[in-house]
C-alpha cells in the first residue's frame, strides 16, 4: 500500500495551504484512502488496481485540488506584501512561503540540482577567497590595539625600507617621545642540541622591551626583563606555544629548565600564548644581547634588524614620523660615516605584514565575484525558463486575487532557498578549495595559518547567498508576477515575452563577457609565468641541492674552529659519489634575502655614508662558481689559498665592472670594503639575477661581489657558525643525495644539522609563488566561468529552439532546408556570444591593467592573448549552440504544427 | 446529450442536501457519508473523495456543519461531522425547496412524482 499521506501532500502542494490546515486535510483524506483501499481489496480487486482506483478517486483529474482551492481560499487570507500585516502575519507568511518553496524545488529535482551546483560553485569559490581575505587582511593582528603598532625602517638612497642598526635603534628609543615603547628584533637560526638529534630552530633575538611593546604577556612564566638583556647576563629563552606543545610535550614544569642553543645553556622563563605570532615559524625568543656578534654595536652594520614601536595614544603616524626624521637628521650629522643619507620610515605593522599581498587578494576577490555573477546569471536564466512552465500557476494565483507583491515574495523566497542550499554546499566546497589553494602555493601567503572558516566567513557566506538569491531571483520574479492571467490561461498560445527573451539574451552576453575578462587575465598570467621560466638567471638551476648547515656546538667557541669544521664538512660532502662540486655561501640568489656591503674605490679612508657605493656581497667558498655554474669572464675565481694569511681579494660581477670601471681593466685594482678594508679585484664573473627573474633588471642594487669565506676574520666567524648555506651540484636528481649529504654534514660528532634542503628549481618556483598562486586561481575561475557560460548559452539556445519549434516547423514546411534552420539557430547563438565577447574584450582592456604589476614580458592589452581568448570563447560558444541547432534542424514540421 | 458541467452542478446542489440529511441524527465521518450515499442510492450516486471532502469543508466554512476529531481506542482518529443549529435550519429549508423543485419538474416533464 502506498504512503497515502505523501501522495496527498503532493496533491495539495500547489495550494499554498497553511501547514496546520494542510496536515488536517492530509490526515482525513489519508484515512479515507485507507478505508477505500481496504474495501476494494475485500471486494477482490488486485492491489495495483486498487491503488490506481483510489488514486483516481482522490485526485479526480485534479478536481480535488481545484475544489479545495476554491473552498480553502474563502478564509485563508493571502498573506500580503512585506510589512502588510505586522510581524506575526509576516512570519506566518514567511514560514508558509518557505514550506511551499521547498516543495516546489523538490518537485523539480533536475532543475534544483543544476541550480544548486552552479550556486555552490559560485558561492563556494567566493567563500574560499573570502576566508583567505578574512584570515590575511581582515582579522586583527594578535596584539592589543594593533593599530598603534608601527614598524620603523631606515631609508637609504637605494632602499625605502632597509633594516636598522642597533645603535640607531637605541638612540631612537632614548630620544623619541611619541612611543609608549620601542623594540628591536632579529630573526636568526639556532642550533638546538642536547635533546636527541641536533635540531635547527627558527628564533628571534629581541630586546627586553619586545613583549611590552607588543602588549603581550607570556601564557606561562614571565617576559624578558632589562636585566636579562645585558651583555654577559645568563641566557634566557621564551618559547612559542607551538614549539612548547609539540617539542616540549606541553610540559607545564618547563619553566626553569635549560636548553642548549648555539652551545649556550639557556633557561626557559616563559611560554607564549597560542595566538601570539610576530613572524611566522618562530619557535624561540632570546634576548638580543645574547647574540655573540661584534656587529650588533656597530652603527654601520644593519644586520636584518627590525624595529617595532607602539604609538602613544593621541600621537599620529605623521607626528611620530616627523619626530623620528628629526632624530635621524641629528644622527646623520653626528655619525656621517654610518648615517649620512639615512632617514627613517614608519609603516603600520599590518601594512608591513600583509600590504604586499593586498592587491593580489583584492584582484582575486574581484575575479571570484565575476564567477558568482556568472553563476547568478545562469540560475536566473534557468528560473526564467522554468517560470514559463509555471505561468499557469502564477496566472491562477493572480486571478484568484494574489497581489503581485505576494507572488514576487514567493518567488524570491524560492530563489533565496536555492541560494542558501547552494551556500551550504558551497561551504563544503570552500573548505576543500581553501585547503587545495593553500597547498598549491606554499609560503606565498602571510598569516596563512589564520586562514579558516570562522564566524566572519559564515556571516559573509550567509549574506552573499541571501543577496545572491535576491539578485538572481528578481528578474524571474518580475516576469512571473507580471504574467498576464488572460494570456497565460489560454493554453497553447505562445506568449510574446519579448522583454523576457531580451533579458535572457542579456544574461548570456553578460556571462560571456565576464568569462572573457577572466580568460584574458588567466591567459596573461600564463604567458608571464611561461616567459619568466625561460628567463636565464645567470647560473644553471638544474641539479643543484641547497641546504642550510651549521657546525657542532663544540666547534662554535672559536673562529678557527668554525672555519675548520666547515672546511671538513665541505670535503666530506664533496667526496659523496654524484656530487660534482660543493660550496658554502652566505647568500642565495632568488632566495628573498640580500646582503649589501658599502665599498669605495682605492685604499683611502671611508667616505661619508651618502658617498659610498653599495653592492650585493656573497661570502663564498672556493667552488661556488663551479657549483652554481656561473661563468667566469676574466681573471680567476677565489681559491682555498685565499685565506687569512693571503692578501684580501674579491671577484666582482660584470655589472660592477661595467658601472664602475668603464673602459678599464678592473683586475688588479684595489677597492675598499666597509668593515673589511682594502681588497684587490682578481676576477670578473657573470651577473646573476639576484632579486628575481623579473625584478632584477630594475633593482636599485645590482652590482655584485664575491668575498672569500676563508678571509672572514675570526671575530666575525661566529656569525656564520649557526648557519650558512651549502650549494651542491649533483649528477643524479639532487634530493636523492640528501640522506648522504645529511650524514656527511652531521660528521663524526653527529651534531651538525641540515635543514631547509631544497633544489634550486624549488627556490625558483618559490620566487614565483605569488604569481603562480594568482595564475592558478585565475585559471580555475576562468575555466569555471567558461563552463558556466557554455551551459548558459546551451540552456538558452535549447529553450529558444523549443519555443520556436512551431515557427521552425512552418519554415520547414515552407521549404527551408535543414542547413538553413540550423544556421538560423547558430546565428542567434553566435550573435549573443558575439555581443558578450565584444563587451568582454572592451572590459578586459580596462581590467587587465590591474594585473600589470604581476605581468612579465606581456602587455595587459596583449593582442595575441585577447585573440586567443576570442578564439577559445568562439569555439566554446559554437559547441554550446551546436546541439540545439542540430535539434532545430531535425524539427518535424508535422509534430511542430500539431503542437497548436 | 449529456452536459457534464451542468450535471456536476446538479449533483453539487443536491449533494449539499444529501450530506446534511445523512448527519441529521448522528455525527458521521467522511468515508461513512460517502459509503451511505452509495448504498442508499443503490449505487446510482457516488461521491469520491475529490468532491466529497471539498464539499464538507465548504459546508463547515459556512457554519452548517461542524467537524470534530474523535479518537477511539485502537483506531486512528477520525473527523466526525455533525449538524449545527444553523445547519438544521438550512436542512429544513433545503428539504422544502427540493420538494417544491421536484414537484415542479415533475409537472413539466410528466415524470411521476414518487
Q: Which of A186-195, A738-747, B105-114 has the highest mean pLDDT?
A: A738-747
The number of C-beta contacts closer than 8 angstroms across A and B is 60
pLDDT tens-place string over residues A217-265:
999 999 999 999 988 889 999 999 989 998 888 888 889 988 888 878 8
Q: Out of B34, B49, B79, name the one closest to residue A64 (CB).
A: B49
Number of separate domains in chain B = 1
Chain A contact for B4 (CB, 8 A cutoff): no
For the four alpha carbons of A880, A884, A887 and A888, in that order, the dihedral sign comes to negative
List, in sequence order, every residue forming a beta bridge with A287; answer none if it has no partner. Answer: A206
Q: Out of A28, A35, A74, name the one closest to residue B53 (CB).
A: A28
Q: How confident is the model at residue A737 (pLDDT cuts 50, 70, 90)?
A: very high
Choice between A291 and A896, residue whose per-residue pLDDT is larger: A291
The CA-based angle A243-A247-A253, given to 5 degrees, is 90
What is the complex's ipTM, to 2 decimals? 0.85
CA-wise closest residue to A599 among A681, A493, A477, A514: A681
- Within the 52-81 window of chain B, which residues sit less than 8 Å (CB to CB) from chain A? 53-55, 57-58, 61, 76-79
Domain boundaries, chain A: 4-76, 163-341, 358-533+769-898, 551-752
CB of A518 within 8 A of CB of A371?
yes
pLDDT tens-place string over residues A511-555:
899 999 999 999 999 998 889 888 889 999 999 999 988 888 777
Residue A412: count of CB within 10 angstroms of its CB: 20
pLDDT tens-place string over residues A639-662:
999 998 999 999 999 999 999 999
Range of the domain at B84: 4-109
pLDDT at position B6 is 37
Residue B96's domain is classified under what CATH number? 1.10.10.10
Answer whether B49 sits within 8 Å of A33, measured CB to CB: yes
Cα–Cα distance for residue pair B111/A207, rounded to 1 Å: 118
Answer whether A64 sits within 8 Å of B31, measured CB to CB: no
Chain A contact for B49 (CB, 8 A cutoff): yes
CB of A835 within 8 A of CB of A873?
no
Answer whether A74 sits within 8 Å of B61, measured CB to CB: yes
Cα–Cα distance for residue pair A308/A890, rounded to 1 Å: 75
Chain A residues within 8 A of B78 when measuring between CB atoms: 28, 31
pLDDT at position A73 is 63
Q: Using the predicted structure, report yes or no on whether residue A137 has a pLDDT greater than 50.
A: yes
- Within the 84-113 window of chain B, which residues sit less than 8 Å (CB to CB) from chain A? none
Dihedral class, residue A57 (left if φ above 0, else alpha if ψ from -120 to 50, else beta) = alpha
Q: Using the predicted structure, report yes or no on whether residue A447 has a pLDDT greater than 50.
A: yes
Q: How confident is the model at residue B12 (pLDDT cuts 50, 70, 90)?
A: low
- For residues A389-416, give the mean pLDDT: 74
Answer whether B57 sits within 8 Å of A36, measured CB to CB: no
Q: Using the predicted structure, report yes or no on whether residue A359 has a pLDDT greater than 90.
A: no
Q: Where are the alpha helices (DSSP H) in A441-546?
A: 455-481, 485-489, 498-533
Residue A669: count of CB within 10 angstroms of its CB: 16
Chain A contact for B33 (CB, 8 A cutoff): no
CB of A572 within 8 A of CB of A551?
no
pLDDT at position A344 is 92
Answer whether B51 sits within 8 Å of A58, measured CB to CB: no
pLDDT tens-place string over residues A141-190:
888 999 999 999 999 887 888 888 899 999 999 999 999 999 999 988 88
Chain B residues within 8 A of A70 when measuring between CB atoms: 54, 58
Helices and strands: H and E segment counts in chain A:
29, 21
Q: Looking at chain B, which residue has its C-alpha nearest residue A24?
A: B79
- For residues A277-302, give the mean pLDDT: 82
Beta-carbon contacts of A86 under 8 Å, excluding residues fewer than 6 positions away, are none
Long-range contacts from A281-284, C-beta under 8 angstroms, 24+ separation:
A281/A202, A282/A187, A282/A202, A282/A203, A282/A204, A282/A240, A283/A201, A283/A202, A283/A203, A283/A239, A283/A240, A283/A242, A283/A243, A283/A247, A284/A190, A284/A192, A284/A201, A284/A203, A284/A204, A284/A237, A284/A238, A284/A239, A284/A240, A284/A243
Alpha carbon separation from A733 to A542, A758, B46 (Å, rounded): 9, 12, 90
Amino acid at each position: 500500500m502506498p504512503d497515502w499521506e505523501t501522495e496527498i501532500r503532493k496533491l495539495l502542494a500547489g495550494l499554498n495551504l497553511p501547514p496546520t490546515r494542510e496536515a488536517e486535510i492530509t490526515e482525513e483524506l489519508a484515512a479515507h484512502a485507507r478505508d477505500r483501499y481496504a474495501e476494494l481489496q475485500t471486494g477482490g480487486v488486485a492491489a495495483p488496481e486498487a491503488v490506481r482506483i483510489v488514486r483516481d478517486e482522490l485526485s479526480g483529474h485534479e478536481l480535488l485540488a481545484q475544489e479545495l482551492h476554491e473552498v480553502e481560499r474563502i478564509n485563508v487570507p493571502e498573506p500580503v506584501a512585506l510589512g502588510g500585516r505586522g510581524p506575526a502575519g509576516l512570519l506566518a507568511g514567511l514560514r508558509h512561503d518557505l514550506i511551499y518553496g521547498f516543495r516546489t524545488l523538490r518537485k523539480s529535482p533536475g532543475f534544483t540540482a543544476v541550480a544548486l551546483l552552479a550556486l555552490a560553485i559560485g558561492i563556494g569559490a567566493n567563500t574560499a577567497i573570502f576566508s583567505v581575505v578574512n584570515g590575511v587582511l581582515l582579522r586583527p593582528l594578535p596584539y592589543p590595539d594593533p593599530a598603534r603598532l608601527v614598524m620603523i625602517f631606515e631609508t637609504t638612497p637605494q632602499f625605502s625600507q632597509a633594516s636598522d642598526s642597533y645603535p640607531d635603534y637605541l638612540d631612537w628609543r632614548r630620544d623619541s617621545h611619541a612611543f609608549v615603547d620601542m623594540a628591536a628584533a632579529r630573526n636568526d637560526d639556532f642550533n638546538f642540541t642536547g635533546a636527541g638529534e641536533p635540531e635547527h630552530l627558527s628564533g628571534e633575538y629581541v630586546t627586553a622591551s619586545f613583549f611590552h611593546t607588543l602588549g603581550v604577556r607570556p601564557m606561562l612564566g614571565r617576559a624578558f626583563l632589562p636585566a636579562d638583556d645585558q651583555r654577559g647576563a645568563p641566557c634566557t629563552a621564551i618559547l612559542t606555544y607551538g614549539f612548547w606543545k609539540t617539542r616540549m610535550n606541553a610540559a607545564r614544569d618547563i619553566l626553569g629548565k635549560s636548553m642548549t642553543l648555539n652551545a649556550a645553556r639557556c633557561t626557559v622563563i616563559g611560554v607564549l600564548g597560542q595566538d601570539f605570532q610576530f613572524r611566522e615559524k618562530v619557535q624561540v625568543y632570546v634576548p638580543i644581547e645574547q647574540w655573540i656578534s661584534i656587529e650588533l654595536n656597530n652603527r654601520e652594520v644593519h644586520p636584518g634588524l627590525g624595529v617595532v614601536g607602539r604609538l602613544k595614544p593621541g600621537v599620529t603616524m605623521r607626528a611620530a614620523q616627523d619626530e623620528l626624521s628629526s632624530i635621524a637628521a641629528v644622527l646623520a650629522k653626528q655619525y656621517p660615516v654610518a648615517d649620512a643619507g639615512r632617514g627613517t620610515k614608519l609603516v603600520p605593522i599590518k601594512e608591513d605584514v600583509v600590504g604586499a599581498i593586498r592587491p593580489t587578494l583584492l584582484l582575486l576577490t574581484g575575479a571570484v565575484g565575476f564567477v558568482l555573477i556568472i553563476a547568478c546569471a545562469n540560475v536566473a536564466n534557468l528560473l526564467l525558463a522554468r517560470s514559463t512552465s509555471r505561468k499557469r500557476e502564477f496566472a491562477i494565483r493572480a486571478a484568484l486575487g494574489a497581489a503581485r507583491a505576494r507572488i514576487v515574495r514567493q518567488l524570491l523566497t524560492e530563489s533565496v532557498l536555492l541560494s542558501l542550499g547552494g551556500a551550504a554546499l558551497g561551504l563544503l566546497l570552500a573548505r576543500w578549495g581553501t585547503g587545495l589553494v593553500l597547498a598549491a602555493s606554499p609560503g606565498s601567503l602571510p598569516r596563512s595559518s589564520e586562514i579558516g572558516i570562522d564566524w566572519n566567513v559564515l556571516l559573509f557566506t550567509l549574506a552573499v547567498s541571501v543577496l545572491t538569491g535576491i539578485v538572481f531571483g528578481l528578474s524571474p520574479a518580475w516576469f512571473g508576477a507580471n504574467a498576464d492571467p488572460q494570456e497565460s490561461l489560454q493554453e497553447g498560445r505562445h506568449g510574446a515575452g519579448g522583454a523576457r527573451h531580451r533579458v535572457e539574451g542579456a544574461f548570456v552576453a553578460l556571462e560571456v563577457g565576464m568569462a572573457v575578462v577572466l580568460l584574458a587575465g588567466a591567459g596573461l598570467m600564463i604567458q608571464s609565468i611561461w616567459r619568466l621560466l625561460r628567463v636565464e638567471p645567470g647560473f644553471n638551476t638544474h641539479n643543484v641541492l641547497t641546504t642550510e648547515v651549521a657546525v657542532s656546538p663544540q666547534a662554535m667557541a672559536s673562529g678557527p674552529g668554525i672555519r675548520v669544521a666547515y672546511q671538513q664538512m665541505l670535503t666530506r660532502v664533496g667526496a659523496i659519489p654524484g656530487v660534482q662540486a660543493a660550496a658554502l655561501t652566505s647568500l642565495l640568489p632568488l632566495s628573498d634575502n640580500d646582503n649589501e656591503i658599502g665599498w669605495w674605490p682605492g685604499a683611502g679612508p671611508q667616505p661619508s655614508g651618502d658617498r659610498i657605493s653599495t653592492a650585493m656581497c656573497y661570502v663564498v667558498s672556493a667552488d661556488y662558481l663551479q657549483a652554481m655554474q656561473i661563468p667566469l669572464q676574466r681573471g680567476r675565481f677565489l681559491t682555498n689559498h685565499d685565506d687569512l694569511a693571503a692578501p684580501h681579494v674579491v671577484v666582482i660581477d660584470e655589472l660592477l665592472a661595467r658601472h664602475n670601471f668603464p673602459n678599464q681593466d678592473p683586475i688588479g685594482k684595489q677597492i675598499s670594503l666597509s668593515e673589511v678594508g682594502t681588497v684587490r679585484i682578481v676576477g670578473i664573473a657573470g651577473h646573476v639575477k639576484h632579486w628575481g627573474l623579473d625584478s632584477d633588471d630594475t633593482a636599485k642594487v645590482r652590482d655584485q661581489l664575491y668575498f672569500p669565506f676563508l678571509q672572514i676574520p675570526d671575530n666575525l666567524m661566529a656569525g656564520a657558525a649557526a648557519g650558512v648555506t651549502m650549494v651542491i651540484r649533483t649528477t643524479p636528481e639532487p634530493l636523492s643525495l640528501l640522506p648522504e649529504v645529511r650524514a656527511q654534514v652531521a660528521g663524526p660528532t653527529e651534531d651538525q644539522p641540515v635543514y631547509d634542503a631544497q633544489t634550486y628549481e624549488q627556490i625558483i618556483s618559490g620566487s614565483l609563488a605569488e604569481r603562480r598562486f594568482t595564475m592558478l586561481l585565475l585559471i580555475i575561475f576562468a575555466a569555471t566561468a567558461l563552463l558556466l557560460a557554455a551551459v548558459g548559452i546551451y540552456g538558452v539556445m535549447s529553450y529558444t529552439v523549443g519555443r520556436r519549434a512551431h515557427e521552425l516547423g512552418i519554415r520547414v514546411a515552407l521549404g527551408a532546408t535543414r542547413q538553413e534552420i540550423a544556421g538560423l539557430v547558430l546565428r542567434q547563438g553566435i550573435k549573443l556570444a558575439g555581443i558578450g565577447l565584444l563587451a568582454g574584450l572592451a572590459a578586459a582592456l580596462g581590467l587587465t591593467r590591474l594585473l600589470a604589476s604581476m605581468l612579465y614580458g606581456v602587455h595587459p592589452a596583449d593582442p595575441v592573448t585577447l585573440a586567443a581568448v576570442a578564439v577559445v570563447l568562439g569555439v566554446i560558444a559554437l559547441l554550446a549552440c551546436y546541439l540545439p541547432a542540430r535539434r532545430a534542424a531535425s524539427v518535424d514540421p508535422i509534430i511542430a504544427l500539431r503542437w497548436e | 446529450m449529456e452536459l457534464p458541467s451542468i450535471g456536476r452542478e446538479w449533483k453539487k446542489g443536491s449533494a449539499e442536501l444529501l450530506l446534511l440529511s445523512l448527519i441529521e441524527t448522528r455525527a458521521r465521518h467522511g468515508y461513512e457519508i460517502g459509503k451511505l450515499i452509495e448504498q442508499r442510492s443503490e449505487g446510482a450516486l457516488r461521491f469520491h473523495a475529490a468532491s466529497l471532502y471539498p464539499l464538507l469543508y465548504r459546508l463547515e466554512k459556512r457554519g452548517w456543519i461542524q467537524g470534530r476529531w474523535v479518537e477511539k481506542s485502537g483506531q486512528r482518529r477520525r473527523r466526525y461531522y455533525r449538524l449545527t443549529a444553523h445547519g438544521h435550519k438550512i436542512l429544513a429549508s433545503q428539504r422544502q425547496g427540493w420538494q417544491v423543485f421536484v414537484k415542479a419538474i415533475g409537472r413539466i416533464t410528466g415524470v411521476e412524482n414518487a
